[in-house]
Amino acid sequence: MYPSSSPSRTTRDGSRPGPGTRPTAGRRGSRGTGRPSGPPPIAWKRVLLLAAIPVVALVALILAVTVFTPEPTTGDCIVALDLTVGHDDPAIADTYARWAEGVLQRCADDGAVNFVVFPITNSTDADLPRLEPIGKPFDIDASQNIDNQRARIRKWIADEAPGEIERLFDEGSSIEGGTDILSAPSVAEDYFNDADEVDFRQFWLVTDGIHIERPGLDMRSAPLERAERQVELAGLEAEGLLPRLDDVEVHMCGIGGGDHSENVSDRQQTDIESLWEDFFDAAGADLDDYDVSCPTPQEG
């Protein structure tokens, strides 16, 4: 036999350790297997969970802003401005001009983005000049600062609209004759957008409310009983002067303040109001306001 290259060793039970095996009994504190270094697995899971919370919250916030940010309110503001109210008194014309500015501001505060101001005059005379209406549409981008975009609208109303309204009165000052208010709603119908394109549609008539143009219907000769009003409405419908203004908010203001209202009694005014209520009801709209004064413009 060949001699061993190292002394023979035996374990405590008398057996020899196998090749590559180291005795373990003599190692203090050893149990034969080592612990993995670092914190236990449960600690790593807790660390990862805590680190993920801010990321998940940020993603949720971005999704909420993107998905749930409401679209800005938009609407149409169509204004019929009576140019016949101040023929005998320029101060009255100035008052109605200021009221028209106030109406535009009121519409802007409500969220309107499309504006038209057109004149009410004596429309039966073919030789009358065509007065260009005031109009301006604004686009509102929901991804941009809404307040800044609304500020552009208010700036137009404050800086440009007053001069345009004054132009209308200057050009209409030479127009004599009656006042064709009943044609104004049909004109407004053509300016309105489809109802599904805007959130609201407002029609304002800045007028004394006294229609004296249509033959057979001079409102200064009121009172008109209900049966008479229905006959008048049937005649208007036959002439194509009864528009469709479904779901349009109608506001009439300046009632009784023009030249034509001087000799109209309170009883007549009540019947005239009833006629306008019947008219807009037949047109599918609601007469929300019928007021002596209109909104006044706010400075600044």
Question: What is the three-state SS of the chain?
Answer: CCCCCCCCCCCCCCCCCCCCCCCCCCCCCCCCCCCCCCCCHHHHHHHHHHHHHHHHHHHHHHHHHHHHCCCCCCEEEEEEEECCCCCCCHHHHHHHHHHHHHHHHHHHHHCEEEEEEEEECCCCCCCCCCCCCEEEECCCCCCCCHHHHHHHHHHHHHHCHHHHHHHHHHHHCCCCCCCCCCCHHHHHHHHCCCHHHCCEEEEEEECCCCCCCCCCCCHHHCCCCHHHHHHHHHHHHHCCCCCCCCCCEEEEECCCCCHHHCCCCHHHHHHHHHHHHHHHHHCCCEEEEEECCCCCCCCC
Residue 26 has pLDDT above 80, yes or no: no
Residue 62 has pLDDT above 70, yes or no: no
pLDDT confidence of 231, banded at 50, 70, 90? confident
What is the rounded distance in angstroms from the CA atom of residue 105 to the CA atom of residue 206? 14
Question: In order of start, what are the domains of the chain with their CATH numbers?
Answer: 75-291 (3.40.50)
Most confident of the ranges 46-50, 58-62, 90-94, 153-157: 153-157
Least confident segment among 1-10, 123-132, 219-228, 248-257: 1-10
pLDDT confidence of 279, banded at 50, 70, 90? very high
pLDDT confidence of 3, banded at 50, 70, 90? very low
pLDDT confidence of 75, banded at 50, 70, 90? very high
Reported pTM: 0.73
Name, in order, each residue with C-beta under 8 angstroms of 105's C-beta and a sequence gap of 6 or more. Answer: 154, 157, 295, 297, 298
End-to-end CA distance of the chain: 117
Segment 249-269 mean pLDDT? 83
Q: Could you read off the pLDDT of 116-171 as tens digits, one per residue?
A: 999 988 754 444 445 778 888 888 887 788 889 899 999 999 999 999 999 988 88
Q: Could you read off the pLDDT of 163-197 as tens digits, one per residue?
A: 999 998 888 776 766 788 888 999 899 899 776 78
Residue 23 has pLDDT above 50, yes or no: no
